[in-house]
Amino acid sequence: EPEVTQTPSHQVTQMGQEVILRCVPISNHLYFYWYRQILGQKVEFLVSFYNNEISEKSEIFDDQFSVERPDGSNFTLKIRSTKLEDSAMYFCASSDLQASGGYTFGSGTRLTVV
Amino acid sequence: QKEVEQNSGPLSVPEGAIASLNCTYSDRGSQSFFWYRQYSGKSPELIMSIYSNGDKEDGRFTAQLNKASQYVSLLIRDSQPSDSATYLCAGGYGNNRLAFGKGNQVVVIP
């Protein structure tokens, strides 16, 4: 069964450093997403991406965050200057046009900012 | 105002019993609802989607949607220890964005 792949599985970074989280969506999917889940809290929407541009973003997705699809397979989330409160699980997801939101999540990247 | 709410605490059910989970939502504009299962430390896994009023059954799972009352429920029949997980209710909004509830933990006791 096709799956969404995320790397690395765990990233530890110092406060103020830049991190790039990587995702390979399912190959025929057209919509891509990033969500995060702070430990013990609910899953929160960050951004959706379609046709090489952001289609929607949340209040969390401020100027410190950016997304990019640098080639035909990868979808990345960059955090420019990490803060302690950015520590969370970051989930990538993708869907096809007919998914209507019922999309597939990757296994996640646990980001720890120290 | 929270878009999707799950207010029940942890639910313990004996093996073989029915687990019942509920979720309410605030925005009548949402047309699609989902139940995800999340094991500890893992990513959410889609188990049910429902778009119209009424019941939808898939194996041991039944999702119910009542748009007039703005609630979604999930029944798990013949609960198994492997069903022990956190169940997340989500509503679809905007450009395929999902709003999640905080989840309900289910513990199936052998």
Structure confidence by residue, pLDDT tens digits, B21-69:
999 999 777 788 999 999 999 999 999 999 999 999 999 999 999 999 9
Q: What is the pLDDT of residue A2?
A: 78
3-state secondary structure of A84: helix
C-alpha distances in Å from residue A67, one per residue of A31, A90, A108, B40? 13, 13, 16, 27
Average pLDDT over every residue of B82-108: 92
Q: What is the pLDDT of residue B104?
A: 96
Low-confidence ranges of chain A (pLDDT < 50): none
Nearest CA in chain B to A91: B43
Residue B82 clears pLDDT 80, i.e. is over it: yes
Q: Which two tokens stand for residue A48?
A: 């959706």
Give B106's Cβ-side CA count (13 Å radius): 30
Q: What is the pLDDT of residue B2?
A: 66
Secondary structure element (H or E) that encloses residue B36, with its range: strand B33-38
Q: What is the band of B1 on the pLDDT scale with cuts at 50, 70, 90? A: low
- In angstroms, rounded to a whole number, what is the distance separating the alpha carbons of residues A18 and A24? 20
Secondary structure element (H or E) that encloses residue B65, with its range: strand B61-66
Q: What is the pLDDT of residue B8?
A: 75
Give contacts of A101 with chain B, Cβ < 8 Å: 32, 34, 49, 90, 92, 96-98
Q: What is the pLDDT of residue A28?
A: 85
Q: What is the pLDDT of residue A106?
A: 97
Please count the other Cβ atoms lying within 10 Å of the Cβ belonging to residue A98: 6
HEC readout, A6-65: EECCEEEECCCCCEEEEEECCCCCCEEEEEEECCCCCEEEEEEEECCEEEEECCCCCCCE
Give contacts of A103 with chain B, Cβ < 8 Å: 46, 96, 98
Count A/B contacts: CB-CB distance under 8 Å: 67
Q: What is the pLDDT of residue A102?
A: 77
